[in-house]
Chain A
Amino acid sequence: MSESLIRLTELSMLFDGETVLDGLNLTINDSEFLTLLGPSGCGKTTTLRIIGGFLSPTSGDVFFNGRRINDVPPYKRQINTVFQKYALFPHLDVYENVAFGLRVAKLPKEEIDKRVTEMLGIVSLSGFEHRAVTSLSGGQQQRVAIARALVNHPKVLLLDEPLGALDLRLRKDMQNELKRIQQAMGITFIYVTHDQEEALTMSDHIVVMDKGHIQQIGTPEDIYNEPENAFVADFIGESNILDGVMLADYKVRIFGHSYVCLDSGFAKNEPVDVVIRPEDIDIVPAEAGVLTGTVTSVTFKGVHYDIIVDFGGFKWLIQTTDFQPVGAKIGIMLEPDAIHVMKKSVYSDSFGDYSSYSDEYDELEDDPEGLCDEE
């Protein structure tokens, strides 16, 4: 299960002198679901295209089953791709699109028919065999693209934001569907997305990238609970990121108060970044809190309220199921496991402040389709 299938070593890519990937090191295990997650333009597609063989890295190596495959062309790799905009062949019907790879491999007719029919069943497109691909909806085209790749039984499937063009409902369905197919067929999936929720839901491991660098590799729980720096903490979920000083092991000072935490191994009095997730903050009456602040905005989110609380100029985001009116004075309590301490990084001070919070915040986070994605 956990033996390495693909290894990237010191992988770098330059486009016209501009560094797009900078010394990537990554090991991908057999049969795992690995997600490359990061904002648009961070180099996800480039990484995927190097693995697929459509780009040669400027430096560094790609290993497949221990063999260096830098110079192996795409048609000789046991890797198939689901392209960002599907790239179905418009002159072929659904059946022929799916059969394409098998026909190129010159498989016997009965074998092709058996595998195509089976595959169309798996992606719930039985009965669509002779439809023109241009007459299908986005979700159906998506499934044809997945079937066309998977029918070849590749060792690895590369997926570049495959659900980007679908509406939310369909996206959720397809997420489950993809995860199910991946587990049933035992194929390694390398999945690219800029949607952190999607990454957390589907992945065995997540690789968080920014500006051509890997920021953190870990399980979804690791990445969420133990972000390595302010960028990861901010990109995955919502975070309040504060300046702190490590007084001793398990003891951190924030805003002049000292708190018990679960982190150790820092130097005495080392400045650190402290992450506090909005859902980990307990609201108490003002007189009982370690910190008191004023509610400045309330947004109903369905399951909970997002409230912004001003603590003497620094605004925090708190998620609570109890309604608090704007202007209310509240106190908060922080349990040791609500506090996560990180080393300072280049990202310190650039994230985690909700002072300019507005309702559009969420939409700004979600990069509009294709804004920075086009080559």
Chain B
Amino acid sequence: MKKLGRVYTVVIYLFLYIPMIVLIVASFNTGKDLTTFDGFTLQRYAELFRDRTLLPLLGNSVLIAVLSSVIATVLGTAAALGIHSMRGRIRSVVMSVTTVPLMNPEIVTGVSLALLFVFVGVVLKVNSILGFVTLLIAHITFNLPYVILSVMPKLTQMDPHLREAALDLGCTPVQAFFKVVIHEILPGIFSGAIMAFTMSLDDFVISYFVYGPNFVTLPVEIYNYVKKPLQPKIYALFTLLFLMILSVMVLMNLMQMRDEKRRKLQRPE
């Protein structure tokens, strides 16, 4: 039984990771065909870095991901602080309202946002409102709940007397936040930011409805690419993207481990 369980686990992980492995191998393959591995080459990567369109698109994606996650983290943390200070009943209502957008199908969110932007465009008499700004606003919007949901538990875990102790020792509420509270909830803020960053980086569905011709992100453009025959340098790009996300995840796990160790130290009993 135990052995069967282990085999099962291995099979599951193979299913999960084989596609990635195939992709990574393909990105180093000299052959034109996926079916045979002819030899090792960095040719694809060289092509990728010479490419005048793909790399700037990756840049666009990273730019949107960084900006939207940073802004969402600031707004989301402030929102979490506000929600945390609410009384019991109202707080749980607001928290439910926060989780709804997460459950909402992305395509619905995308279409709603697009409609809203177009409506605002008509009101403001702007011809082509869709572009960098709408993309950024959309990404901030769908990132917010992730930040709020990862900061909230840290706030509830925190000893409420810590903030009061800071006030007691002469801090204004703002000083109390920056001198004490933020240190307690920092792991939550970080994981919220990282989650927002990865969500934003690979978002396709919502972006597809709100991007404009002047500013395109990588996932959207790749969708347009794959309609044509796939160029091998795309494999190299995907591999880089995968490694990027992977390292962000590893970073996040390391931080969580550190946080847990710290909290264990705090409660030695």
Contact = CB atoms under 8 A, between A and B. Distances in A.
Interface of A: 52-54, 73-75, 79-81, 83-85, 87-91, 100-101, 104-105, 132, 134-135, 148-149, 152
Contact of A80 (B161, B162, B169, B184): B169
B173 to A, nearest CB: 8
B134 to A, nearest CB: 40
Given A91-B183, A134-B265, A73 B167 contact: yes
B164 A83 contact: yes
B171 interface: yes
Contact of B161 (A73, A75, A83): A83
Given A87-B159, A134-B266, A152 B169 contact: yes
A320 B169 CA distance: 50
A190 B70 CA distance: 46
A90 B169 contact: no
Interface centre among A73, A100, A135, by most chain B C-beta atoms within 10 angstroms, is A100
Interface centre among B159, B166, B170, B171, by most chain A C-beta atoms within 10 angstroms, is B170
Contact of B164 (A74, A134, A152): A74
Given A74-B167, A104-B170, 14 more contacts: A53-B167, A73-B167, A74-B168, A75-B172, A83-B161, A83-B164, A88-B165, A89-B180, A90-B266, A91-B184, A100-B179, A104-B179, A134-B265, A149-B169
Contacts of B265: 132, 134-135
A87 B167 contact: no
B160 to A, nearest CB: 9
A105 B170 contact: yes
Contact of A87 (B164, B170, B171, B172): B164
Nearest to B267: A134
B168 A75 contact: yes
Contacts of B266: 90, 134
Given A90-B266, A91-B183, A134-B266, A75 B165 contact: no
A54 B164 contact: yes
A348 to B, nearest CB: 39
Contact of A148 (B167, B169, B183, B262): B169
B175 interface: yes
A35 B221 CA distance: 72
Contacts of A90: 183-184, 262, 266
Q: Label chain B's interface by main secondary structure.
A: helix
Contact of A104 (B159, B164, B175): B175
A20 B168 CA distance: 23
A92 to B, nearest CB: 8
A101 B161 contact: no
A374 to B, nearest CB: 11
Q: How large is the interface on B (under 10, 10 to 19, 20 to 34, 35 or more residues)?
A: 20 to 34
Interface of B: 159, 161-162, 164-172, 175, 179-180, 183-184, 262, 265-266, 268
A81 B168 contact: yes
B122 to A, nearest CB: 48
* In the complex, the 10 A-B pairs of residues with the closest C-beta atoms, listed nearest first: A101-B169, A87-B161, A91-B183, A104-B170, A87-B165, A74-B167, A83-B161, A81-B168, A134-B266, A134-B265
Interface centre among B164, B175, B184, by most chain A C-beta atoms within 10 angstroms, is B164
B165 to A, nearest CB: 4
A85 B266 CA distance: 13
A75 B162 contact: no
A89 B162 contact: yes
Nearest to A87: B161
A85 B184 CA distance: 17
A87 B162 contact: yes
Contacts of B170: 75, 101, 104-105, 152
15 contacts: A73-B167, A74-B167, A75-B167, A75-B170, A79-B168, A80-B169, A83-B164, A87-B161, A89-B162, A91-B184, A101-B170, A104-B170, A104-B179, A134-B268, A152-B170
A54 to B, nearest CB: 6
A70 to B, nearest CB: 16
Given A87-B161, A89-B180, A134-B266, A100 B167 contact: no
Nearest to B182: A91
Contacts of A149: 168-169
A111 B207 CA distance: 57
A134 B166 CA distance: 18
Contacts of A79: 168
A148 B183 CA distance: 19
B210 to A, nearest CB: 40
Contacts of A53: 167
B261 to A, nearest CB: 11
A152 B265 CA distance: 29
A326 B183 CA distance: 63
A90 B268 CA distance: 13
Contacts of B180: 89, 91
A233 B238 CA distance: 80
Contacts of B262: 90
Interface centre among B161, B168, B175, B262, by most chain A C-beta atoms within 10 angstroms, is B168
A231 to B, nearest CB: 30
Given A89-B180, A90-B266, A83 B169 contact: no
